[in-house]
Amino acid sequence: MRAAFKACMDGKQVAYLVPTTILANQQYESFKERMAKFAVKVELLNRFRTKKEQTEIIRKLKLGEIDIVIRNT
């Protein structure tokens, strides 16, 4: 989490990959909580998001509007 934060502060985007959907949800909540005080935008990309939400998240990633995306593999 510290490395992801450091990368964001250096102007980079981070893709945080986890093995399961449950772990992705847990990590998403942890990241949101820890990054709330900073200007870091965190999103979750998994199978429970609608196709429209997934498309919007990917569009924002391409535009650089999202700093950290959490994705299960």
Q: Are strands 14-18 and 68-72 parallel, antiparallel or unpaired?
A: parallel
User: Which sequence spans correspond to the domains of the chain?
Assistant: 2-72
Contacts of 63 (CB under 8 A, 6+ apart): none
Summarize pLDDT for 19-62 with one digit per residue, the tens: 999 999 999 999 999 999 999 999 999 999 999 999 999 999 99
SS3 per-residue string spanning 59-73 = HHHHHCCCCEEEEEC
CATH 3.40.50.300 at 2-72, yes or no: yes
User: Taking residues 9-14, what's their average pLDDT?
Assistant: 97
pTM summary value:
0.93
pLDDT category of residue 1 using cuts at 50, 70 and 90: very high
Q: What is the pLDDT of residues 25-37, one digit of tens each?
A: 999 999 999 999 9
